[in-house]
Structure 1
């Protein structure tokens, strides 16, 4: 099935501007065009977009995503290199999760502090009334 840029953007929860940018950066090298130049996205293009969004969402820079896509276009001879990219990204995500867990602990600690402080203030106000 073919999708216009607007339809593809809506399906992927992106903007048409973002899709044009990704194409310009070489992240969507296989997007076809009609005779009149209008882009037509396929289900395969949407799958590429889902991988791009995943990698971007994990903090991978566009330049590295482009390297992955270039390797993918080279075919099976790059399978191990692509596997290693995902292994490294998994390590990066796990580190991010650990950092976020530490931040969450700090946030929870501060909430507990403010819960106690607010409760103490409420009791104090009750006594003065």
Structure 2
């Protein structure tokens, strides 16, 4: 086998010590409110400080969303009184430490509920 030149042998053939594994894909979806939160904050930054800050915000949010997609359980679990907010997690937006992404698992999907300043009261928002 060794030296046969067949790239399909051994590990190249898909052998792993744990055997074959099925990878469950998880999707990420933004609620309308979360998408609006991101755009409105970008607009605010653009008006207040110019396009560079707005672009930095957009890149930071995109990066944070990708981190959530890669490791959805990494977010801190929130405690809310409202039952529909059970299981909501949050992650900070790097470089904008007071802004948080709130998300929840819905089956195999991650639903981003809101992207808000941490001082906002998520429970009172619809």
- The verdict on a shared fold, with TM-score over 0.5 as the criterion, is no
Query: Which has the larger Rg?
Result: 1
The structure that is helix-richer by fraction is 1
TM-score (norm 2): 0.24
TM-score (norm 1): 0.24
The structure that is strand-richer by fraction is 2
